[in-house]
């Protein structure tokens, strides 16, 4: 008689291959965040996560993992990634990663209605006029984000164009190879943010991701990225302001910021007044992005809400303040809603939500 258990092993193997896991890797300016996700019963399931901060970046205020002088600190990123993997012991080495928005060039182009193949040719031609470096040095991607009809009844389509220096892509491939991972996909972080925080929701939305060295502002409408901008006012600006105004070291300033936030009453009043001008700097950038969007994109809809992401979204009191200043409902990011996760994460969910937006959004690419 045949052994009835003969097929168990191959079946288990099959199950593993049809539910593979992926690593979403977000390399920020001062931290590396990795999540491991596989398909769960109802939703994608988070198996594990890790956040590694480069503490040195706080002390050396002029350094960051990602800088415009991109050749720097490759070694530090590789070491952080290796440490993260050693700590997480993931079941996979397949990674999906994001580019910071400042290393990409994006714009919205408008074309009359035409066939897909004509559109591709026109985009390639137009891209040359808009992209500030030789076209042979960049990789180009684009997506249709909208359409409208002008007063004469002609139809137009709006194309979101993304270009990234090839040198940058090669650099990421090198970093991941050396860290022992297989880099399957790279995308700019505003796409990951939109997938994680907006999904299929049709509401015109600001996503404001307040990181350490930069704030990314994305306008998403009908579930896709329509526009974006960036500001250098971010979490580190608040820490530096506290450190220099109160004459305390940056590590202490960082603690104070996290402890007290911008609630602004009683003993916290002074701290708030030191930090608020920098939060206003972020809000002014959001307004500038809104102004550019309205003036550059025909048919731009009014933005109806804001979602705060990045570590800066954990600043106490920031939702209320931004809501007042922008005059639209403002909430903290909650990407974990789209996932199943171990119960141990629940107590930390409030704080983790905005920190993991990009990394989680990256993995959702593989599960839609």
Ligand X SMILES: Nc1ncnc2c1ncn2[C@@H]1O[C@H](COP(=O)(O)OP(=O)(O)OP(=O)(O)O)[C@@H](O)[C@H]1O
**Residue 202, both tokens:** 């049709």
Q: Which of 33, 11, 36, 35 is closest to 21 using CA atoms? A: 36
| DSSP-assigned letters across all residues of 333-349 | --GGGGSB--GGGGGGH
Binding flag, residue 30, ligand X (CB under 6 A): yes
Q: Please identify, using beta-carbon distances, which residue of 146 and 211 lies nearer to Mg ion.
A: 211
165 binds, among Mg ion, ligand X, none (CB under 5 to 8 A by kind): none
DSSP letter (8 states) at residue 19? S
214 binds, among ligand X, Mg ion, none (CB under 5 to 8 A by kind): ligand X
Among 212, 290, 353, 363, contact with ligand X (rule: CB under 6 A):
212
How do strand 94-99 and strand 44-53 relate by DSSP bridges? unpaired
Question: Looking at 143-151, 177-185, 217-225, 254-262, which segment touches ligand X (CB under 6 A)?
Answer: 254-262
What x-and-dash track marks residues 52-81 binding ligand X by CB under 6 A?
--------------x---------------
| DSSP-assigned letters across all residues of 29-63 | SSEEEEEEEEE-SSSEEEEEEEEEE-THHHHSTT-
Among 211, 235, 250, 317, contact with Mg ion (rule: CB under 5 A):
211
DSSP E strands in the chain: the ranges are: 21-27, 31-39, 44-53, 94-99, 105-112, 138-149, 155-165, 182-188, 205-210, 215-221, 224-231, 305-309, 330-332
Q: Which of residues 6-35 bind Mg ion (CB under 5 A)?
A: 28
Binding flag, residue 258, ligand X (CB under 6 A): yes
Question: Looking at 155-163, 240-248, 280-288, 309-317, which segment touches ligand X (CB under 6 A)?
Answer: 309-317
Among 21, 45, 214, 243, contact with ligand X (rule: CB under 6 A):
214
**Closest separation between CB of residue 231 and ligand X, Å?**
10
**Locate tokens 């500030």: which residue?**
132
Q: Which of residues 225-264 bind Mg ion (CB under 5 A)?
A: none
Residue 174 to residue 324: CA distance in whole angstroms: 45
**Closest separation between CB of residue 197 and ligand X, Å?**
13
What are the Cα distances from residue 80, in Å, to 31, 65, 83?
Answer: 8, 10, 5
Among 213, 262, 278, 326, contact with ligand X (rule: CB under 6 A):
213
CB 175 within 8 A of CB 77: yes
Among 48, 168, 231, 314, contact with ligand X (rule: CB under 6 A):
314
Binding flag, residue 165, ligand X (CB under 6 A): no
How many residues of this chain bind ligand X (CB under 6 A)? 23
Q: Which of 130, 100, 126, 297 is closest to 209 using CA atoms? A: 100
Residue 138 to residue 167: CA distance in whole angstroms: 8
Q: Please identify, using beta-carbon distances, which residue of 38 and 257 lies nearer to ligand X.
A: 257
198 binds, among ligand X, Mg ion, none (CB under 5 to 8 A by kind): none
Q: Please identify, using beta-carbon distances, which residue of 303 and 308 lies nearer to ligand X.
A: 308
Binding flag, residue 311, ligand X (CB under 6 A): yes
Q: Please identify, using beta-carbon distances, which residue of 204 and 211 lies nearer to Mg ion.
A: 211
**Closest separation between CB of residue 200 and Mg ion, Å?**
24
**Closest separation between CB of residue 119 and ligand X, Å?**
33
Residue 28 to residue 189: CA distance in whole angstroms: 10
Binding flag, residue 236, ligand X (CB under 6 A): yes
Residue 106, helix vs strand vs coil? strand
Residue 33 to residue 27: CA distance in whole angstroms: 6
Angle at 336 between CA 184 and CA 213, to 5 degrees: 70
Binding flag, residue 90, ligand X (CB under 6 A): no
Q: Please identify, using beta-carbon distances, which residue of 211 and 317 lies nearer to Mg ion.
A: 211
Q: Which residues bind Mg ion (CB under 5 A)?
A: 28, 211
Q: Which residues bind ligand X (CB under 6 A)?
A: 28-31, 66, 100, 211-214, 234-236, 239, 254, 257-258, 310-312, 314-315, 355
């Amino acid at each position: 008689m045949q052994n009835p258990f003969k097929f168990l092993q191959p079946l288990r193997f099959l199950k593993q291959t049809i539910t593979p896991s992926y690593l979403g890797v977000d390399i920020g300016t001062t931290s590396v965040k990795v999540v491991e996700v596989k398909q769960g019963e109802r939703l994608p399931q988070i198996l594990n996560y890790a956040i590694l901060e480069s503490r040195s970046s706080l002390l050396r205020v002029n350094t960051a993992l990602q800088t415009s002088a991109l050749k720097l600190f490759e070694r530090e990123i590789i070491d952080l990634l290796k440490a993260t993997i050693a700590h997480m012991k993931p079941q996979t080495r397949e990674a999906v990663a994001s580019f910071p928005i400042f290393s990409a060039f994006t714009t919205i182009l408008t074309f009359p209605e035409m066939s897909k193949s004509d559109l591709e040719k026109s985009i390639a031609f137009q891209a040359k006029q808009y992209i500030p470096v030789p076209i042979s040095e960049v990789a180009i991607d684009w997506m249709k984000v909208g359409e409208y009809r002008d007063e004469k009844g002609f139809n137009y389509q709006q194309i979101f164009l993304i270009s990234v220096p090839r040198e940058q892509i090669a650099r990421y491939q090198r970093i991941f190879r050396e860290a022992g991972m297989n880099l399957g996909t790279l995308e700019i972080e505003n796409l990951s943010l939109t997938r994680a925080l907006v999904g299929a929701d049709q509401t015109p939305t600001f996503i404001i991701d307040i990181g350490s060295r930069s704030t990314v502002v994305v306008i998403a409408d009908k579930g896709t990225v329509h526009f974006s901008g960036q500001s250098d006012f971010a979490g580190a600006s608040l820490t530096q302001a506290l450190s220099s105004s109160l004459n305390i070291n940056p590590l202490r300033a960082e603690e104070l910021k996290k402890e007290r936030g911008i609630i602004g009453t009683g003993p916290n009043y002074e701290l708030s007044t030191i930090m608020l001008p920098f939060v206003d700097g972020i809000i002014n950038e959001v307004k500038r992005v809104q102004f550019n969007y309205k003036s550059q994109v025909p048919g731009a809809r009014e933005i109806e809400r804001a979602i705060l992401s990045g570590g800066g979204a954990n600043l106490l009191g920031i939702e209320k303040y931004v809501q007042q200043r922008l005059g639209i409902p403002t909430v903290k990011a909650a990407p974990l809603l789209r996932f199943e996760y171990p119960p141990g994460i629940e107590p930390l969910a409030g704080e983790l939500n905005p920190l993991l937006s990009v990394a989680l959004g990256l993995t959702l690419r593989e599960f839609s």
